[in-house]
Amino acid sequence: AQKVTQAQTEISVVEKEDVTLDCVYETRDTTYYLFWYKQPPSGELVFLIRRNSFDEQNEISGRYSWNFQKSTSSFNFTITASQVVDSAVYFCALSEAVGQTGANNLFFGTGTRLTVIP
Amino acid sequence: SQTIHQWPATLVQPVGSPLSLECTVEGTSNPNLYWYRQAAGRGLQLLFYSVGIGQISSEVPQNLSASRPQDRQFILSSKKLLLSDSGFYLCAWMVGDPDTQYFGPGTRLTVL
């Protein structure tokens, strides 16, 4: 069974600090996909990144970076030089590569609420 | 480009009343469609998904139902709302296998 754990319920940082959001997953599939979504106060989920299980290269996009480590089943997200606009709830999610239903259902963690204090 | 719409944006309904939430996608064909619910301060729970017209799969038994009358239209319904149905309802679409699910703006439902 698939499971995603985001142990950090809430994090507060002062603007310009770096912050890392943790994500640990469980799956018996050898092929799977990992995602991060951002949910600002407006509520809409914004897609940030997708990673497949065969690609363990870290990725950097501006102030955002992701560290995927299969050995520890983790897919952590770091924001460098945080800004007030980064305040949101961040969700990590997992999908099986080929679902039994063909629907590629997403399994979400419970989210981490990040507050960046000016 | 693809866009996804949900309406209404907010809804306040009395217990026992019916419900109809609509989701439509533009700019794509034959998407997978999904309904999620997010209770206050909680994560997302998958309610229904559809891989084609008329095909609905339910993930959680409850008093809600879903229908897909057209390729890019997904409807969430209830005959009688419960207090526990309150929450934020999100519709999502996906094209390709595998690919990314993109979410709509959501409907905030309050049942009183």
Q: Is the peptide bond before B98 cis (omega within 30 degrees of 0)?
A: yes
Test A105 with B90 for CB contact under 8 angstroms.
no
Q: Which amino acid is at B16?
A: G
| Interface check B19 vs A, CB under 8 A | no
pLDDT tens for B9-37 read: 999 999 999 999 999 999 988 899 999 99
Mean pLDDT for A77-102 is: 86
| Residue A48 burial class via C-beta count within 10 angstroms: exposed 0-12, middle 13-18, buried 19 and up | middle
The shortest CB-CB distance from B51 to any of A42, A44, A103 is to A103
Instruction: Residue B32: list chain A partners with CB under 8 A.
Output: 103-104
A82 closest CA partner among A17, A22, A12, A11:
A17
pLDDT of residue B97 exceeding 70: no
pLDDT of residue A1 exceeding 90: no
pLDDT tens for A2-34 read: 899 999 999 999 999 999 999 999 998 888 999
pLDDT of residue B65 exceeding 90: yes
- Chain A interface mutation, best of B5, B38, B89, B110, highest count of A Cβ atoms under 10 Å: B38
pLDDT tens for A56-79 read: 888 889 999 999 999 999 999 999
B64 touches B78 (CB < 8 A): yes
B31 closest CA partner among B99, B106, B86:
B99
DSSP bridge pairs for B23? B6, B74
Mean pLDDT for B29-46 is: 87
Which DSSP string do the residues of chain A spell out, in sequence order? --EEE---SEEEEETT--EEE--EEE-S-SSEEEEEEEE-TT---EEEEEEETT----EEETTEEEEEEGGGTEEEEEESS--GGG-EEEEEEEEESS-TTSS--EEE---EEEEEE-
